Amino acid sequence: MALLVPVAPASAAPSERSQTSPLVTIAQGGLRGQSRGQAQEFLGIPYAAPPVGDLRFRPSQTPKRWSEVRDATRQAPACLQFSPFGLRDPQAASEDCLYLDVYRPRGAHAGTRLPVVFWMHGGAYSQGTGTQFGGRTMAESTNTIVVTINYRLGQLGYLTLPELTTDNALRSGSWGLMDQIAALKWTRQNIAAFGGNPGNVTISGQSAGSGSVCAMLASPRAAGMFSRAILQSGPCTLLRSPDRARAERESRAFAAQAGCPGAEAIAACLRAASGSDLVGAARTLPTSGPAVGDRLLPVQPSQALESGEWNKVPILIGSTRAEGRMFVAATQPYLTAQQYTAQLKSSYGAAADRVLERYPLSDYDSPYLALSAVLTDSTFACHTYGSAQVLSRQVPTYAYEFDDPASPTLYGARVPGLDQSNAHSAELAYLHDFTMGDRPLTPAQAALANRMKRYWAAFARYGTPVVAGQTPWAPTSRQHTVLTLNPKADAPSTTFAADRQCSFWKGLPSPLAQNS
């Protein structure tokens, strides 16, 4: 089951703008941004050349310079969407999509050297856009620089065919990962002009965006390019990358579906196909994200972390309390008791009776909630716990669980009669100026959102999410201390593993895990 985040077009810019237009000069030329509230925005900045024509299925190329001051007050299109949800406005997506947005506090200027938060969106590597994740509030309330990016998606971003490249170092065909590293490199080279510190960049992401963080932690190409990392609802042991053999099999099946079978002229055929035809060819085929087996990503990120051979930085990692609700609501919202039992038998085989004993229907108000609990604990919760244990033996590691029993649902994803609070992606509206929440936050939720932004910014600034006047956040240790983030009060806990029955789940399969 893919880790999906539905897509909506970016919200219109609010009208409260200053008459003063901030100017910044970077390596490519001058940029004119806009002031909003106590922050300034520079939107739609190209970090790479458009990956179209002969540049389709090639590594990200340096963008061209411009001579006139470039208007940077409008967000760029999303990359082509490969999921069945897609954008409501088809004109809001394009192959010419390698752009990023920069948000800074109003007082920032070259030389300020503020910490930088570099955000990679989720969406199963097949949908989403950085424009859904505004950084204005984070920038102005925490005195940080926020960068959000687009990157190539679906088979345009991840296609493993040796015919597409002569460079053996890039045989995985992970063009989307190359885009992310190119955007990170651009940030390192240019962020000082906005007032950021290129030596203090925190990479962060959620779901497939967290999987992208995992890839950067393991990629030699990203070594030395960031100082900290945040993994939200995407532990590296859960989001496994395919090996090159599997990725190539799936890529050849896609090429055949797109009308480009065989090896002869396959590259030319795929580069000549229309974007809509490629999206159509992928409808019944998976997008597996970055593959392993070349110098871009030599081994599984989880294997790299376990071995100690990775780009070691302090880590902030966590999940939401009911991750599984999103997936069950999207696929089996009204399943019966009989279907619940059948689902567990299908997923766990001989171990199904043991799972039923641990998660009996009598403990839940509905089969939907029971199956959601099984999915949450067996996947995100216990994989996050296991990852934090591995990481905490090597670097400072801080763990959280988001728990707001009244959190908003993703726009367009609500199913009547179901409690979808605390589901996968629930925390996003609390950390970003998020365009996908189905309703505004209440005052109590807004207060939690403010605390969370301060925790995240403190981690980006100092490598520890400790904020004066807020609940102390201890690093994960053998007791596995987790900070529960709740509108009433944040509270540390040492019972996470027991509450989630992680000892039981160790060794049992994870239904959402991507296997290589």
The Cα–Cα gap between 473 and 108 comes to: 29
Q: What's the predicted TM-score (pTM) here?
A: 0.94
CATH, domain range 323-415+430-516: 3.40.50.1820
The Cα–Cα gap between 415 and 372 comes to: 14
The closest alpha carbon to 48, from 170, 187, 161, belongs to 187
Pair 376, 322: CB distance under 8 Å = yes
Active-site residue, 276 included? no
Backbone φ, ψ for residue 106 (5° rounding): -55, -30
Beta strands 114-120 and 145-149, pairing class: parallel
Residues of the chain with CATH 3.40.50.1820: 1-313, 323-415+430-516
- Among 207, 241, 288, 516, the active-site one is 207
pLDDT of residue 264: 79
The Cα–Cα gap between 209 and 203 comes to: 10
pLDDT of residue 391: 97
pLDDT of residue 287: 82
Backbone φ, ψ for residue 513 (5° rounding): -65, 140
pLDDT of residue 288: 83
Q: Which residues pair with 403 in a beta bridge?
A: none
For the chain, counts of helices (H) and of strands (E): 17, 18
The Cα–Cα gap between 356 and 374 comes to: 9
| Residues of the chain with confidence (pLDDT) below 50 | 1-18, 514-516
CATH, domain range 1-313: 3.40.50.1820
